[in-house]
Chain A
Amino acid sequence: SSTDGPKSAHFDICSKNLKYKFSENAFNTNILKRHSGQYYTLPPTHIQKLFPYGLPPRFQLQIKTFNEGCVMVRPPALELISYLKRADYSKPPLRYVLYGDIGTGKTMSLCHALHYCYSQGWLIVHVPDAHLWVKNCKELLPSSSRPSRFDQPIQASQWLKNFKITNERFLSKVQLERYVWTKRESTEKGQPLGELIDQGVNRMKSSSDVVGAVLRELRLQAGGATEGEGAFKLAVAVDGVNALWGKTSLKKEDRTMCEPEELTLIHNLRKMMKNNWSGGAILTALSQTGSVFKPRSAYLPSELLGEEGFDNMEPFVPVSVSNYNEKEFESCYLYYLDRNWLQHPHSRSEEGKKELIFLSNKNPSILERLCAFL
C-alpha cells in the first residue's frame, strides 16, 4: 500500500512499527516506552465490555469504519500508567487530573489508562461524561429518600446497565448493608451486588439511590480485604469532572436554577471523589466542550473546576495533555495512509503533509476532522 518511490522506503520502515497487537505484557513500561508514538490495537471483546459508551463519539465512528480500534501511545497516558503501577494501594487513593486544550486527547488518554486497569483486573467505575448528568435531562423527579434532592432515573439506570456490562465478574460480590427502597422492597444483608443493580435497573424510581448505594458499597469494600477472594482495586474514572462543581442548566419546577448539590447522582459522585477510602485510584479528565457556562479559552484546572472544585479536588496530580509533536503527527499521518483514509492524491505528497500540519497545528481532533473529508 505504499505509494511513490522515495517515500515508500520511509513508509515501509515505519509501517512495521506502526501498530502492534495488544498482548499480555503490553503494559510493560519498557515496551510501552519503546512504542511511544505508535498505535496499538484494542481487542474487540475489550471494547465491547469496557467501553460500550466510554469512548469519544468520533472515535467510535472511526472504529466502525476501520473495523479496529487503534489507540496511540502518548506520554500523558504513559505517565498515568506508571503512576498507577507505583502507587501504594493501602493508602487513600491518589487523584489524577488530565487537563489540556480542546481536542488534545484527554479522554483518549483516560481510556488508555482505564484499559490498563481493566487488564489488571480492577473494578471499573466509569462515568463517561459527567456533563450528561448536569444538562439536558428530560425527567427530574423529586427524590424518594430525601426531600430536597432530585433524581434522574434515566441517566441512573443507563449507567447501572453499563456498569453491569463492564464489571460482570464482580457481580457476585457480597454486600454488607441493608437498604430499604420502599415499604415493600428492601435488599437484605449479604445479597450479591448483581441483585442490587438489577433492583436499580428494574425500578426506575429508586435507581439514583441505588447508584449511591453501589458507590458506597464499593468504597467500603475496596480497601477491606487485601488478600483472598474479596480483594479488588477500584478505579474511579470520571470524564468532565468539572461538571460536578460547576453550574447546571436544569430548572426546577418553580423555574429556578438547580444547584449541583441538589442532584442525587452528583452528590454521590462527589462523595466518591473524596479520598476517605483506600485501595484504588481516581482518574479524572477535565472537559470544556461539554461544560455549561464556561468560556472556550479556559483549559487550566483552576479555571474549569472553579474555586469550590479546586478545593475539593486538592491535592491532585495534574497531567497535562498537549498537541502531537513531530513524531506523533508523523505516526498519525502514516496510520491514516495505511488505512487508506486519505484519498486525495495531493494529501499523500510532502506539500499536502505540510498543509495538514499548518491547518491543524498538530491538534489531534482538528486533524481527524480535516482528514475526514480528504
Chain B
Amino acid sequence: MVPQLPLRQIYVASSLWKKNLAAAGPQKFTQEFIDKQVEEFEVGKRHLANMMGEDPETFTQEDIDRSIAYLFPSGLFEKRARPVMKHPEEIFPKQTAIQWDAEGRPFHFLFYTGKQSYYSLLHDVYEKILYMRLIQLMELLLSMPYCSLEEEFILKFRKQLEVQSSKYEIPALQYDPQGVAFSVADGRRKSAKASITLRDSGSGNITINGRNYLHYFPVLQNREQLMFPLLFVGMMGRFDIEGSVEGSGHSAQAGALRLAISRALLSFVSEGEVEKMRQAGLLTADPRIRERKKPGQEGARKKFTWKKR
C-alpha cells in the first residue's frame, strides 16, 4: 500500500479565485458558436416572414426591422436599446484570426516588429525606393516620363479624394430690374440668424439692420470677420451688402454674417474658388453652442466649492 502523504491545505487569497475579467480581453466566440447563431438567424427569419404573411425568399433586412418594430413596439429614446434582429456577423464583434500556430510560433516573419504589414510593405518597396523619401520620390516617379508603366503599382498607394465642394448648394443668382446681379443667403451661429443680399457693381457699403457697419460693429474683430470672405476671394470693393441679423451677441452675429456672405459669394465665384473657400473654413457652419448647465454644478463645467470635510 502507498503511504498517504499528509495533505496540507494551501490557503490562497480569494482574489485569485475570481476571474480576472480585464485580462481576458473582449469576449471570444468560437466559430461553431457563430455558425450556430447564423443558422438560428436564418430559421428565425423564415418564421418571421411566415408570421407577417410575406414571402420568406424575398424577406430583406429592412422588412425584418419593420416587423420587429411592429411586433415589439418600444418607447425607449436610445435607438440602440430597442429590440433588434440582425445577422450575427453584425452583432458579434469580429475577431482577428489567430496569428500564430499551435506551438506559439507566429506565421509572419515580421510579427515581432509590431507593425507587420507596414514593414512588409517597406520590404516590398525597398527594392524600388527608400521610405524616408517615399512620398517625395513617388512624386518624382510620377513626374518622370514613362511613369505610366508603373501606374498600377502607384495606384495601389493612391487614394481618390472626393471633391466635397460639389455637395454645397449655391444660391441662385438673381437679377434686378436694372440688370444688377444679386444673391440672397442665410447664415447661423450660436442662435444668431443672419440674412443678407449681396449686390454686384457696388462700392463696398455695408448696411446691417439699417445702420452702417461701422456703427453696428464698433469692435474691430467683428469687422474683420465681415471682411474675411471678401478679402479671401479678392472682391473687396465690388459688392454692396445689405443685411439683417438678430439674436445672440455681437461676435455670434458677426460669425453668422460671415457665413451668410460666404454662401452668397458662391454664386459669383468659380468652382476652384469654391473648393478653396471650403478648405479655408468659410463655408462650414460653426457647430459650437452653449453647453448645458448640469445639476450639482454651478455652470456647465464649474463645480461648487469643494470642502474636504
| Chain A residues at the B interface, C-beta cutoff of 8 Å | 296-297, 351, 354-355, 357-361, 363, 366, 370
Contact = CB atoms under 8 A, between A and B. Distances in A.
A358 B214 contact: no
B212 A358 contact: no
Interface centre among B227, B236, B237 (most CB of A within 10 A): B236
B213 interface: yes
Nearest to B226: A358
23 contacts: A296-B215, A297-B211, A297-B215, A351-B231, A354-B237, A355-B227, A355-B231, A357-B204, A357-B236, A357-B237, A358-B204, A358-B227, A358-B230, A358-B231, A358-B236, A359-B220, A359-B223, A359-B224, A359-B227, A360-B214, A361-B213, A361-B214, A370-B220
Interface in B177-218: 204, 211-215
Interface centre among A296, A354, A355, A358 (most CB of B within 10 A): A358
B84 to A, nearest CB: 57
Contacts of A360: 214
A297 B211 CA distance: 10
B115 to A, nearest CB: 46
A280 to B, nearest CB: 36
Nearest to A369: B220
Contacts of B230: 358
B236 A354 contact: yes
B223 A358 contact: yes
B236 A361 contact: no
A359 B231 CA distance: 11
A366 B212 CA distance: 14
B124 to A, nearest CB: 49
Given A357-B237, A358-B204, A361-B212, 7 more contacts: A297-B215, A351-B231, A354-B236, A355-B236, A361-B213, A363-B214, A370-B220
A280 B215 CA distance: 37
Contacts of A370: 220
A303 B212 CA distance: 19
Interface string B241-252: 000000000000
* Interface size classification for chain B: 10 to 19
A5 B29 CA distance: 77
A233 to B, nearest CB: 39
Nearest to B227: A358
Interface centre among A351, A360, A361 (most CB of B within 10 A): A361
B231 A366 contact: no
Contacts of B215: 296-297
Contacts of A363: 214
B228 to A, nearest CB: 10
Nearest to A373: B220
Contacts of A297: 211, 215
B2 to A, nearest CB: 99
Contacts of B211: 297
Nearest to B214: A361
A351 B236 CA distance: 9
B138 to A, nearest CB: 36
B197 to A, nearest CB: 18
Contacts of B223: 358-359
A358 B223 CA distance: 8
Nearest to B213: A361
B108 to A, nearest CB: 56
A96 B212 CA distance: 27
B309 to A, nearest CB: 49
Contacts of A296: 215
Interface string B7-20: 00000000000000
A141 to B, nearest CB: 39
Nearest to B223: A359
Top 9 closest pairs, chain A to chain B, by CB:
A361-B214, A354-B236, A358-B227, A359-B223, A363-B214, A358-B236, A359-B227, A358-B204, A297-B215
A351 B212 CA distance: 22
A360 B220 CA distance: 9
A366 B214 contact: yes
Contacts of B204: 357-358
Interface string B62-76: 000000000000000
Interface centre among B214, B224, B227 (most CB of A within 10 A): B214
Contacts of A357: 204, 236-237
B166 to A, nearest CB: 30
B239 to A, nearest CB: 11
A366 B213 CA distance: 13
A361 B206 CA distance: 10
Nearest to A323: B214
A278 B236 CA distance: 53
B204 to A, nearest CB: 7
B247 to A, nearest CB: 21
A298 to B, nearest CB: 11
Contacts of B220: 359, 370
